[in-house]
Structure 1
Amino acid sequence: MIINNPYLDIIIRSISVYFFMIIALRIFGKKELSQLNTADVILILLISNSVQNAMVGSNTSLFGGILAAFALFIINLIFKRTMLHSKFIMEMLQDKPEILIHNGKIEFKTLAKLGISSEELQEAMREHGVEHYKEIKLAMFEIDGSISIISGNKNLKQTHHKRKIHKTLGDLNN
Protein backbone atom coordinates (compact mmCIF):
# COMPACT_ATOMS: atom_id res chain seq x y z
CA MET A 1 0.00 0.00 0.00
CA ILE A 2 1.50 3.31 -1.08
CA ILE A 3 0.47 6.38 0.85
CA ASN A 4 1.11 9.72 -0.81
CA ASN A 5 1.28 11.66 2.45
CA PRO A 6 4.67 10.94 4.08
CA TYR A 7 3.44 11.98 7.53
CA LEU A 8 0.39 9.72 7.40
CA ASP A 9 2.77 6.97 6.27
CA ILE A 10 4.89 7.53 9.42
CA ILE A 11 1.80 7.35 11.63
CA ILE A 12 0.55 4.11 10.05
CA ARG A 13 4.03 2.54 10.18
CA SER A 14 4.47 3.53 13.85
CA ILE A 15 1.10 2.11 14.85
CA SER A 16 1.87 -1.11 12.96
CA VAL A 17 5.20 -1.51 14.80
CA TYR A 18 3.47 -0.76 18.11
CA PHE A 19 0.96 -3.57 17.60
CA PHE A 20 3.69 -5.92 16.44
CA MET A 21 5.58 -5.24 19.69
CA ILE A 22 2.42 -5.76 21.79
CA ILE A 23 1.87 -9.14 20.13
CA ALA A 24 5.56 -10.11 20.40
CA LEU A 25 5.63 -9.28 24.13
CA ARG A 26 2.44 -11.29 24.64
CA ILE A 27 3.97 -14.29 22.87
CA PHE A 28 7.38 -14.09 24.55
CA GLY A 29 6.05 -13.08 27.97
CA LYS A 30 6.65 -10.26 30.42
CA LYS A 31 9.03 -12.15 32.65
CA GLU A 32 11.84 -10.82 30.51
CA LEU A 33 10.85 -7.24 31.34
CA SER A 34 10.61 -7.58 35.11
CA GLN A 35 14.35 -7.52 35.74
CA LEU A 36 16.57 -6.79 32.79
CA ASN A 37 19.94 -8.43 32.47
CA THR A 38 22.68 -7.49 29.99
CA ALA A 39 21.25 -9.64 27.19
CA ASP A 40 17.78 -8.11 27.70
CA VAL A 41 19.13 -4.54 27.49
CA ILE A 42 21.01 -5.42 24.29
CA LEU A 43 17.85 -7.00 22.85
CA ILE A 44 15.79 -3.88 23.60
CA LEU A 45 18.42 -1.62 22.03
CA LEU A 46 18.63 -3.79 18.92
CA ILE A 47 14.84 -4.01 18.58
CA SER A 48 14.47 -0.25 18.86
CA ASN A 49 17.15 0.22 16.20
CA SER A 50 15.63 -2.42 13.91
CA VAL A 51 12.12 -0.97 14.00
CA GLN A 52 13.15 2.67 13.65
CA ASN A 53 13.35 2.52 9.86
CA ALA A 54 10.13 0.53 9.75
CA MET A 55 8.40 3.46 11.47
CA VAL A 56 9.89 6.49 9.72
CA GLY A 57 11.07 4.94 6.45
CA SER A 58 13.44 7.23 4.61
CA ASN A 59 12.25 10.31 6.52
CA THR A 60 15.06 11.16 8.93
CA SER A 61 13.81 14.64 9.74
CA LEU A 62 13.27 15.89 13.28
CA PHE A 63 9.57 16.29 12.57
CA GLY A 64 9.34 12.71 11.26
CA GLY A 65 10.91 11.36 14.47
CA ILE A 66 8.70 13.50 16.69
CA LEU A 67 5.63 12.48 14.70
CA ALA A 68 6.50 8.78 15.11
CA ALA A 69 6.99 9.24 18.87
CA PHE A 70 3.75 11.23 19.12
CA ALA A 71 1.86 8.51 17.24
CA LEU A 72 3.26 5.90 19.65
CA PHE A 73 2.21 7.93 22.72
CA ILE A 74 -1.31 8.44 21.31
CA ILE A 75 -1.83 4.80 20.31
CA ASN A 76 -0.51 3.68 23.70
CA LEU A 77 -2.96 5.99 25.49
CA ILE A 78 -5.86 4.75 23.35
CA PHE A 79 -4.81 1.14 23.77
CA LYS A 80 -4.53 1.37 27.57
CA ARG A 81 -7.92 3.04 27.85
CA THR A 82 -9.44 0.41 25.59
CA MET A 83 -7.95 -2.32 27.80
CA LEU A 84 -9.49 -0.70 30.89
CA HIS A 85 -12.94 -0.73 29.30
CA SER A 86 -12.82 -4.04 27.44
CA LYS A 87 -12.55 -7.19 29.50
CA PHE A 88 -12.08 -9.23 26.31
CA ILE A 89 -9.03 -7.27 25.16
CA MET A 90 -7.63 -7.20 28.70
CA GLU A 91 -7.89 -10.98 29.03
CA MET A 92 -6.54 -11.54 25.54
CA LEU A 93 -3.41 -9.43 26.00
CA GLN A 94 -2.65 -9.37 29.69
CA ASP A 95 -1.38 -12.36 31.60
CA LYS A 96 -3.09 -13.48 34.78
CA PRO A 97 -1.26 -13.57 38.11
CA GLU A 98 0.10 -17.05 38.78
CA ILE A 99 0.55 -18.82 42.10
CA LEU A 100 4.17 -19.91 42.66
CA ILE A 101 3.96 -21.02 46.30
CA HIS A 102 0.79 -21.66 48.30
CA ASN A 103 1.00 -22.46 52.02
CA GLY A 104 4.65 -23.53 51.77
CA LYS A 105 4.14 -25.76 48.72
CA ILE A 106 5.99 -24.86 45.54
CA GLU A 107 4.04 -25.05 42.29
CA PHE A 108 6.77 -26.61 40.14
CA LYS A 109 4.60 -26.86 37.01
CA THR A 110 3.84 -23.14 37.15
CA LEU A 111 7.51 -22.27 37.68
CA ALA A 112 8.46 -24.41 34.68
CA LYS A 113 5.68 -22.96 32.52
CA LEU A 114 6.80 -19.40 33.33
CA GLY A 115 10.50 -20.20 33.00
CA ILE A 116 11.30 -19.07 36.54
CA SER A 117 14.45 -20.68 37.88
CA SER A 118 14.93 -21.71 41.50
CA GLU A 119 17.61 -19.00 41.73
CA GLU A 120 15.11 -16.32 40.68
CA LEU A 121 12.58 -17.59 43.21
CA GLN A 122 15.21 -17.64 45.96
CA GLU A 123 16.27 -14.10 45.06
CA ALA A 124 12.66 -12.92 45.42
CA MET A 125 12.43 -14.71 48.77
CA ARG A 126 15.59 -12.97 50.01
CA GLU A 127 14.27 -9.61 48.82
CA HIS A 128 11.17 -10.20 50.94
CA GLY A 129 13.18 -11.34 53.97
CA VAL A 130 12.10 -14.98 53.78
CA GLU A 131 14.68 -17.72 54.32
CA HIS A 132 12.75 -20.88 53.45
CA TYR A 133 9.83 -21.52 51.09
CA LYS A 134 7.88 -23.30 53.86
CA GLU A 135 7.52 -19.88 55.57
CA ILE A 136 5.60 -18.51 52.58
CA LYS A 137 1.84 -18.30 52.73
CA LEU A 138 1.57 -17.05 49.15
CA ALA A 139 4.02 -16.18 46.37
CA MET A 140 2.55 -14.76 43.17
CA PHE A 141 3.98 -14.00 39.77
CA GLU A 142 2.23 -10.69 39.11
CA ILE A 143 1.03 -9.37 35.76
CA ASP A 144 3.91 -6.87 35.66
CA GLY A 145 6.48 -9.67 35.87
CA SER A 146 7.37 -9.18 39.53
CA ILE A 147 7.12 -11.77 42.29
CA SER A 148 5.20 -10.78 45.42
CA ILE A 149 5.48 -12.80 48.60
CA ILE A 150 3.33 -12.97 51.71
CA SER A 151 4.89 -14.95 54.53
CA GLY A 152 3.23 -16.53 57.51
CA ASN A 153 5.69 -14.73 59.79
CA LYS A 154 3.75 -12.18 61.85
CA ASN A 155 6.95 -10.18 62.61
CA LEU A 156 7.62 -9.31 58.97
CA LYS A 157 6.18 -6.03 57.79
CA GLN A 158 4.10 -6.53 54.67
CA THR A 159 2.37 -4.16 52.32
CA HIS A 160 -1.18 -5.15 51.53
CA HIS A 161 -2.69 -4.40 48.14
CA LYS A 162 -6.33 -5.00 47.40
CA ARG A 163 -6.33 -7.46 44.51
CA LYS A 164 -8.84 -9.73 42.87
CA ILE A 165 -8.57 -13.23 44.27
CA HIS A 166 -7.14 -15.61 41.72
CA LYS A 167 -9.74 -18.23 40.80
CA THR A 168 -7.42 -21.12 41.76
CA LEU A 169 -6.49 -19.55 45.08
CA GLY A 170 -9.70 -19.98 47.03
CA ASP A 171 -9.95 -18.80 50.62
CA LEU A 172 -6.61 -18.00 52.29
CA ASN A 173 -8.16 -17.84 55.73
CA ASN A 174 -8.32 -21.62 56.08
Structure 2
Amino acid sequence: MQIPTLEKVLRTVLVYGGLALLLRVGGKRDLAQLNSFDLVVMLLLSNVVQNSIIGNDNSLTGGLLGAAVLVAVNGVMVRVVNRHPRLTRIFEGAETVLVRDGAVDHKVLHRMGLRQADVAAALRRQGAGDLHEVKKATIAPGGAIVVTLTEEAQDVTRRDLHNDREALLNDIRAEIQAAVAGLEARLADRLPKPPAAAPATGQAP
Protein backbone atom coordinates (compact mmCIF):
# COMPACT_ATOMS: atom_id res chain seq x y z
CA MET A 1 0.00 0.00 0.00
CA GLN A 2 1.17 3.51 -0.82
CA ILE A 3 -0.41 4.99 2.36
CA PRO A 4 0.23 3.70 5.91
CA THR A 5 -2.52 1.49 7.28
CA LEU A 6 -3.27 3.74 10.26
CA GLU A 7 -3.63 6.79 8.02
CA LYS A 8 -6.01 4.95 5.70
CA VAL A 9 -8.15 3.80 8.65
CA LEU A 10 -8.28 7.35 10.04
CA ARG A 11 -9.18 8.76 6.61
CA THR A 12 -12.03 6.29 6.24
CA VAL A 13 -13.42 6.93 9.72
CA LEU A 14 -13.25 10.72 9.30
CA VAL A 15 -14.94 10.62 5.89
CA TYR A 16 -17.64 8.33 7.26
CA GLY A 17 -18.30 10.70 10.17
CA GLY A 18 -18.23 13.74 7.92
CA LEU A 19 -20.76 12.29 5.49
CA ALA A 20 -23.02 11.19 8.34
CA LEU A 21 -22.93 14.73 9.72
CA LEU A 22 -23.63 16.28 6.30
CA LEU A 23 -26.62 14.00 5.74
CA ARG A 24 -27.90 14.80 9.23
CA VAL A 25 -27.65 18.52 8.56
CA GLY A 26 -29.04 18.13 5.06
CA GLY A 27 -32.29 16.72 6.43
CA LYS A 28 -34.33 13.56 6.28
CA ARG A 29 -35.44 14.18 2.71
CA ASP A 30 -31.94 13.48 1.43
CA LEU A 31 -32.04 10.02 2.99
CA ALA A 32 -35.07 8.58 1.21
CA GLN A 33 -37.36 11.07 -0.53
CA LEU A 34 -34.98 11.83 -3.37
CA ASN A 35 -35.85 14.08 -6.27
CA SER A 36 -33.68 14.44 -9.37
CA PHE A 37 -31.42 17.06 -7.75
CA ASP A 38 -30.86 14.94 -4.63
CA LEU A 39 -30.02 11.94 -6.81
CA VAL A 40 -27.31 13.90 -8.63
CA VAL A 41 -25.79 14.94 -5.30
CA MET A 42 -25.81 11.38 -3.96
CA LEU A 43 -24.16 10.03 -7.11
CA LEU A 44 -21.43 12.66 -6.95
CA LEU A 45 -20.75 12.29 -3.22
CA SER A 46 -18.99 8.96 -3.58
CA ASN A 47 -16.75 10.35 -6.30
CA VAL A 48 -16.00 13.51 -4.34
CA VAL A 49 -14.83 11.72 -1.18
CA GLN A 50 -13.07 8.86 -2.94
CA ASN A 51 -9.66 10.50 -2.92
CA SER A 52 -10.16 11.56 0.69
CA ILE A 53 -10.30 7.89 1.64
CA ILE A 54 -7.72 6.28 -0.63
CA GLY A 55 -5.49 9.30 -1.27
CA ASN A 56 -2.88 8.36 -3.91
CA ASP A 57 -3.22 4.68 -3.10
CA ASN A 58 -4.66 2.74 -6.05
CA SER A 59 -3.64 -0.67 -4.78
CA LEU A 60 -6.11 -3.51 -4.38
CA THR A 61 -5.11 -4.01 -0.76
CA GLY A 62 -5.70 -0.35 0.06
CA GLY A 63 -9.14 -0.36 -1.55
CA LEU A 64 -10.19 -3.52 0.27
CA LEU A 65 -8.90 -2.13 3.56
CA GLY A 66 -10.93 1.07 3.13
CA ALA A 67 -14.05 -0.93 2.27
CA ALA A 68 -13.55 -3.21 5.28
CA VAL A 69 -13.13 -0.23 7.61
CA LEU A 70 -16.30 1.38 6.21
CA VAL A 71 -18.36 -1.76 6.77
CA ALA A 72 -16.93 -2.27 10.26
CA VAL A 73 -17.47 1.34 11.37
CA ASN A 74 -21.02 1.34 10.00
CA GLY A 75 -21.85 -1.93 11.77
CA VAL A 76 -20.55 -0.62 15.09
CA MET A 77 -22.36 2.72 14.74
CA VAL A 78 -25.70 1.14 13.85
CA ARG A 79 -25.60 -1.24 16.82
CA VAL A 80 -24.49 1.42 19.29
CA VAL A 81 -27.08 3.96 18.13
CA ASN A 82 -29.92 1.43 18.11
CA ARG A 83 -29.23 0.50 21.73
CA HIS A 84 -29.54 4.07 22.98
CA PRO A 85 -32.65 6.10 22.01
CA ARG A 86 -30.88 9.34 22.94
CA LEU A 87 -28.15 8.65 20.40
CA THR A 88 -30.82 7.86 17.82
CA ARG A 89 -32.36 11.30 18.34
CA ILE A 90 -28.93 12.96 18.14
CA PHE A 91 -27.70 11.22 14.98
CA GLU A 92 -31.00 10.69 13.16
CA GLY A 93 -33.47 13.09 14.78
CA ALA A 94 -37.09 12.42 15.69
CA GLU A 95 -40.10 11.85 13.48
CA THR A 96 -41.78 14.94 12.08
CA VAL A 97 -45.52 15.29 11.47
CA LEU A 98 -46.38 16.26 7.89
CA VAL A 99 -50.14 15.68 7.83
CA ARG A 100 -52.57 15.60 10.74
CA ASP A 101 -56.30 14.92 10.37
CA GLY A 102 -56.19 15.54 6.64
CA ALA A 103 -54.42 18.90 6.90
CA VAL A 104 -50.91 19.38 5.46
CA ASP A 105 -48.42 21.37 7.51
CA HIS A 106 -46.96 23.55 4.76
CA LYS A 107 -44.44 25.17 7.11
CA VAL A 108 -42.93 21.77 7.88
CA LEU A 109 -42.83 20.85 4.19
CA HIS A 110 -41.03 24.10 3.40
CA ARG A 111 -38.57 23.66 6.28
CA MET A 112 -37.71 20.12 5.21
CA GLY A 113 -37.57 20.91 1.51
CA LEU A 114 -40.37 18.51 0.59
CA ARG A 115 -42.79 19.05 -2.26
CA GLN A 116 -46.46 18.43 -1.65
CA ALA A 117 -46.60 16.32 -4.82
CA ASP A 118 -43.93 13.97 -3.39
CA VAL A 119 -45.87 13.67 -0.12
CA ALA A 120 -49.13 13.01 -1.97
CA ALA A 121 -47.44 10.27 -4.00
CA ALA A 122 -46.11 8.65 -0.81
CA LEU A 123 -49.60 8.79 0.72
CA ARG A 124 -51.13 7.09 -2.30
CA ARG A 125 -48.51 4.33 -2.18
CA GLN A 126 -49.63 3.57 1.37
CA GLY A 127 -53.32 3.34 0.55
CA ALA A 128 -54.59 6.87 1.05
CA GLY A 129 -56.78 7.96 -1.84
CA ASP A 130 -57.33 11.43 -0.43
CA LEU A 131 -55.92 13.67 2.28
CA HIS A 132 -59.15 13.36 4.25
CA GLU A 133 -58.35 9.64 4.70
CA VAL A 134 -55.07 10.44 6.48
CA LYS A 135 -55.19 10.63 10.25
CA LYS A 136 -51.46 11.22 10.59
CA ALA A 137 -48.44 11.17 8.29
CA THR A 138 -44.90 11.52 9.58
CA ILE A 139 -41.43 11.41 8.11
CA ALA A 140 -39.29 9.00 10.08
CA PRO A 141 -35.65 9.65 11.02
CA GLY A 142 -34.60 7.40 8.15
CA GLY A 143 -36.50 9.53 5.65
CA ALA A 144 -39.46 7.22 5.03
CA ILE A 145 -42.97 8.67 5.15
CA VAL A 146 -45.25 6.67 7.46
CA VAL A 147 -49.03 7.05 7.06
CA THR A 148 -51.78 6.25 9.56
CA LEU A 149 -55.20 6.09 7.91
CA THR A 150 -58.51 6.90 9.54
CA GLU A 151 -60.61 3.97 10.68
CA GLU A 152 -63.01 4.44 7.78
CA ALA A 153 -60.19 4.28 5.23
CA GLN A 154 -58.38 1.28 6.69
CA ASP A 155 -58.61 -2.03 4.89
CA VAL A 156 -60.91 -4.66 6.35
CA THR A 157 -59.00 -7.43 8.12
CA ARG A 158 -60.00 -11.01 8.76
CA ARG A 159 -60.57 -10.12 12.40
CA ASP A 160 -62.95 -7.35 11.37
CA LEU A 161 -64.88 -9.78 9.18
CA HIS A 162 -65.03 -12.31 12.01
CA ASN A 163 -66.29 -9.69 14.46
CA ASP A 164 -68.88 -8.44 11.97
CA ARG A 165 -70.08 -12.00 11.36
CA GLU A 166 -70.40 -12.69 15.07
CA ALA A 167 -72.33 -9.46 15.58
CA LEU A 168 -74.66 -10.32 12.69
CA LEU A 169 -75.27 -13.81 14.07
CA ASN A 170 -76.04 -12.38 17.50
CA ASP A 171 -78.55 -9.97 15.96
CA ILE A 172 -80.19 -12.83 14.04
CA ARG A 173 -80.42 -14.97 17.19
CA ALA A 174 -82.00 -12.10 19.10
CA GLU A 175 -84.54 -11.52 16.33
CA ILE A 176 -85.41 -15.25 16.19
CA GLN A 177 -85.84 -15.41 19.95
CA ALA A 178 -88.07 -12.33 19.87
CA ALA A 179 -90.15 -13.83 17.04
CA VAL A 180 -90.54 -17.16 18.87
CA ALA A 181 -91.57 -15.37 22.05
CA GLY A 182 -94.17 -13.40 20.08
CA LEU A 183 -95.57 -16.55 18.47
CA GLU A 184 -95.81 -18.29 21.82
CA ALA A 185 -97.70 -15.32 23.25
CA ARG A 186 -100.14 -15.29 20.33
CA LEU A 187 -100.72 -19.03 20.58
CA ALA A 188 -101.34 -18.72 24.29
CA ASP A 189 -104.01 -16.10 23.64
CA ARG A 190 -105.81 -18.26 21.03
CA LEU A 191 -105.80 -21.55 22.94
CA PRO A 192 -108.98 -22.20 25.03
CA LYS A 193 -108.46 -21.62 28.67
CA PRO A 194 -109.23 -24.49 31.09
CA PRO A 195 -112.54 -24.14 33.05
CA ALA A 196 -112.29 -22.61 36.47
CA ALA A 197 -112.67 -25.01 39.42
CA ALA A 198 -116.04 -24.97 41.27
CA PRO A 199 -115.86 -23.24 44.64
CA ALA A 200 -116.02 -25.54 47.68
CA THR A 201 -119.36 -25.46 49.70
CA GLY A 202 -117.89 -26.71 52.91
CA GLN A 203 -120.66 -29.49 53.36
CA ALA A 204 -119.79 -33.15 53.70
CA PRO A 205 -121.11 -35.44 50.89
Task: State if a TM-score over 0.5 links the two structures.
Answer: yes
Partners of 2:3 and 2:55 within 8 A in 1: no
**Match for residue 72 of structure 2?**
74
Q: Aligned to 1:40, which of 38, 43, 49?
A: 38
User: In the alignment, is the contact (CA less than 8 A) between 1:139 and 1:150 conserved in 2?
Assistant: yes
The correspondence for 2:55, drawn from 39, 43, 57, is 57
Distance in 1 (CA, whole Å) between partners of 2:114 and 2:31 is 13
Q: CA deviation at 1:20?
A: 0.3
Q: 1:47 to 1:74 in 2, by over 3 A?
A: same
CA gap 1:141/1:27 in 2 versus in 1, 3 angstroms: same
- Asked if 1 retains the 8 angstrom alpha-carbon contact of 2:92 and 2:142, the reply is no
Letter in 1 for 2:130: H
How far off its partner does 1:5 sit? 6.6
CA contact (8 A) 1:150 1:158 kept: no
Query: What code does the residue aligned with 2:86 have?
Result: F
Aligned partners of 1:30 and 1:54: how far apart in 2? 25
CA distance in 1, matches of 2:101, 2:153: 17
Query: For 1:158 and 1:49, how far apart are their aligned partners in 2?
Result: 48
151, 154, 157: which one aligns with 2:152: 154
Q: TM-score if structure 2 supplies the norm length?
A: 0.68
Greater percentage in helix: 2
Aligned partner of 1:122 in structure 2 is 120
Whichever residue aligns with residue 110 of structure 1, its letter is V
Relative to 1, partners in 2 of residues 1:18 and 1:115: Cα closer, same or farther, differing over 3 Å? same
**CA deviation map 1:31-83 (0-9, x unaligned):** 12213344333322221111111111111100100000001111111111221
Structure 1 vs Structure 2: percent identity of aligned residues?
29
Identify the residue that residue 96 of structure 2 maps to in structure 1. Answer: 98
Alpha-carbon separation, structure 1, partners of 2:156 and 2:146: 10
Inter-partner Cα distance in structure 2 for 1:104 and 1:15:
44
Q: If the length of structure 1 is used for normalisation, what is the TM-score?
A: 0.79
- Structure 1 Cα separation of the partners of residues 3 and 99 of structure 2: 55
Q: 2:17 aligns with which of 19, 25, 40?
A: 19
Count of matched residue pairs: 156
Query: Residues 139 and 149 of structure 1 are in contact (CA less than 8 Å); yes or no, is this contact kept in structure 2?
Result: yes
List gaps (5 residues or longer) in structure 1: 160-174
Structure 2 distance, partners of 1:5, 1:145, is 37
- For the residues of structure 1 that align with 2:111 and 2:26, how far apart are their CA atoms? 12
One-letter amino acid of the counterpart of residue 28, structure 2: K
Distance 2:60 2:122 in 1: 43
What is the one-letter code of the residue matched to 1:124? Answer: A
Runs of 4+ in 1 over 6 A off after TM superposition: none
Q: Could you tell me how far apart the structure 2 residues matched to 1:129 and 1:85 are? A: 32
- 1:98-148, Cα deviation, whole Å (9 max, x unpaired): 111222232222222222221112212222232321221111111221212
What secondary structure does 2:122 align onto?
helix
1:92 & 1:14 partners in 2: Cα distance? 22
Amino acid at match of 1:92: I
Please identify, of 136-145 and 57-66, the stretch whose mean Cα deviation from structure 2 is larger: 136-145
Pick from 88, 110, 113: which aligns with 1:112?
110
Amino acid in the other structure paired with 1:105: A
